[in-house]
A and B are shown apart, each in its own frame.
Chain A
Amino acid sequence: MAKAFNAGRRGVTGFLEPAERDLLRKLFADIITMLEPSRPAHEDPLAALIGLDMDVTVPTDPALLRLLPDAVKDDAEASLEFRQLTERSLRETKIGALRAATLDLEKDKLVLDAEAARLWSRALNDVRLVLAQRLEIKDEDDAERVHQVQDWGEAEDVESYLSLVYNFVSWLQESLVQAMLAGLKGSK
């Protein structure tokens, strides 16, 4: 069983069992695959350099749309323009966090400095956003329904299994964020 994260002098420390590390590695890899652009960067080298993507479209997968949301409400045109300027680099930022967290999984004991902890919190959050879409968590009642599934003995179908995974990742992120908040407090 994983241990809750702790804030200490060397940063945030935590411990994960091999099976838990395997699970997280797989989840991170799945989301990296979702986020990797299907098309190469814009052929104009300057456009590619600044991350411009004039061919971008709104994601059709609701989970991917949750990771890369519209930035202007009720204005598709302005949102698309915003995507052209920012989506590629946002994808890269997210992939970067997921890859960094994956590398940290090489050891069963996690020792995260402030930057590594931040990357971990983002990676875990993106995992939860995607799982929540798959579990159709749309409001607090849905969240509560999923939260009720706590017994791994009950994992008999995809939904109950995903619910258990979601609850584990939620617990892990909450524990990490509490340690990070304690770190913020200690540094003031």
Chain B
Amino acid sequence: MSVSTAPETDRDQSTHELTSPDIPWELIVWNDPVNLMSYVSYVFQSYFGYSEAKAAELMMQVHTEGKSAVAHGAKEKMEAHAVAMHGFGLWATVQKGGGRG
């Protein structure tokens, strides 16, 4: 494991969630004019374990579309992610997936 793997890193779980056929809840990260693009990208890489390319793609989606669903899975898991995002200073909300987007 690399030095970038922190205790809060969540590699295995997020991969599993993304490939799960049953996706009931999602984590939405919202755009704001303050958070640096580099920082958002760093959070997506270091916390979710996403690749540089995937983190950049999600970050750009937040930036240009105003929000992005960055993780999917069980409600409790999404809530834990939301607290972690708030810890980083990103604004995230949880919602039932597939609906309001």
Contacts and interface: CB of A to CB of B under 8 A. Distances in A.
Contacts of A173: 36, 39
A82 B86 CA distance: 12
A187 interface: yes
Scoring A68, A93, A122, A177 by chain B CB atoms within 10 A of each residue's CB, the highest score goes to A177
Interface stretch (A39-47, A139-147, A148-156): A139-147
B34 A129 contact: yes
B34 to A, nearest CB: 4
Contact of A122 (B28, B45, B87, B95): B87
Contacts of B87: 90, 93-94, 122
B34 A71 contact: no
Interface SS of A by simple majority: helix
Contacts of B3: 114, 183, 187
Interface of A: 66-73, 82, 86, 89-90, 93-94, 114-115, 118, 121-122, 125-126, 128-129, 132, 137-140, 142-143, 170, 173-174, 177-178, 180-181, 183-185, 187-188
Contacts of A93: 87
B89 interface: yes
Contacts of A178: 38
Nearest to A143: B33
Interface of B: 2-4, 6, 28, 33-36, 38-39, 41-42, 45-46, 52, 79, 82-83, 86-89, 91-95
Scoring A94, A118, A137 by chain B CB atoms within 10 A of each residue's CB, the highest score goes to A118
B93 A121 contact: no
Q: Which 9 A-B pairs have the closest CB atoms?
A: A125-B89, A187-B2, A132-B34, A143-B33, A177-B38, A73-B93, A71-B82, A184-B4, A187-B3
Given A181-B38, A184-B45, A114 B89 contact: no
A123 to B, nearest CB: 10
Contacts of A126: 89
B4 A122 contact: no
Contacts of A128: 34
